[in-house]
Amino acid sequence: MFRAQERYGHDPSIVVRTKTWTEPLKWQRMAAEQGEFEMVFTCSWSDWFHEDADEWRDEAWGLIRRCSNLVFQVLTKRPERILVNLPQDWSRGYENVWLGVSVENNDHLWRVDALRSVPARVRFISAEPLLGPLSNLELDEIDWLIVGGESGPRYREMKNEWARELRDLALNSGVAFFFKQSAAPRTEMGTLLDGVAWREYPPIRKL
């Protein structure tokens, strides 16, 4: 995330409110008219639970409540901040919010344990960029595992055996598995793992 921002001339240390703040309301109208559910990945260049976004977060939760046909994927590297920044009506979680954590290597497995302590309808792990084996990963109470290598001109290696180990772990645990890409100079290169396109999702719970 930080490397991508720097590559496009942005300062990753500065958090700003996006210009597309109200776009989900338009997407919601379109999805509702078609009777469909659409996936929305939030904060692709930032973090939903970043300290510098505290002043906007309640308004963002309110926006999510108005978009029942959109399923928001909220990924964070700050799971220790989730519980204290959930809306008061969260209860067991919003049906249209999936909570996830980034895990690059074994040093960050604590984030998975922190995620498990948060009530959520769907919990997921994004092992992207995968920079080492996750030999100690456990998938109890996890619904989705995403694996991918780093992209960009300075990409770091991801060995295929690391991805295979995670694929097998997901399959044996009954967890949906999604392989995004191999490590490569550009995004969406090497999207097959051993000749197979793994594009599994957990089921969307209809509201």
Residues 6 or more apart from 93 whose CB is under 8 A from it? 99, 119, 120, 121
Q: 177 is written with which tokens?
A: 């598995």
- Is the pLDDT confidence value at 12 over 60? no
- Is the pLDDT confidence value at 8 over 90? no
Tens-digit pLDDT profile for residues 129-188: 999 999 999 999 999 999 999 999 989 999 999 999 999 999 999 999 999 999 999 888
Q: 176 is written with which tokens?
A: 């949906």
Rounded CA-CA distance 163/160 in Å is: 5
- Total Cβ atoms within 10 A of residue 196: 9
- Residue spans of the domains in the chain: they are 2-181
Q: Which amino acid is at 152?
A: G
Rounded CA-CA distance 73/97 in Å is: 6
Predicted structure pTM score: 0.89
Supply the pLDDT for residue 46.
82
Q: Under a CB-based contact definition with an 8 Å cutoff, are residues 133 and 162 in contact?
A: yes
Q: Which amino acid is at 200?
A: E
Q: Cα Rg for the chain, rounded, in angstroms?
A: 17
Helix (H, G, I), strand (E, B) or coil at 160: helix
Query: Which CATH topology does 2-181 take?
Result: pyruvate-formate lyase- activating enzyme (3.80.30)
Tens-digit pLDDT profile for residues 71-107: 999 999 999 999 999 999 999 999 999 999 999 999 9
Task: Name which of 141, 146, 144 is nearest 119 in CA terms.
Answer: 141
Rounded CA-CA distance 144/154 in Å is: 28
* H helix or E strand, kind and range, residue 72: strand 70-76
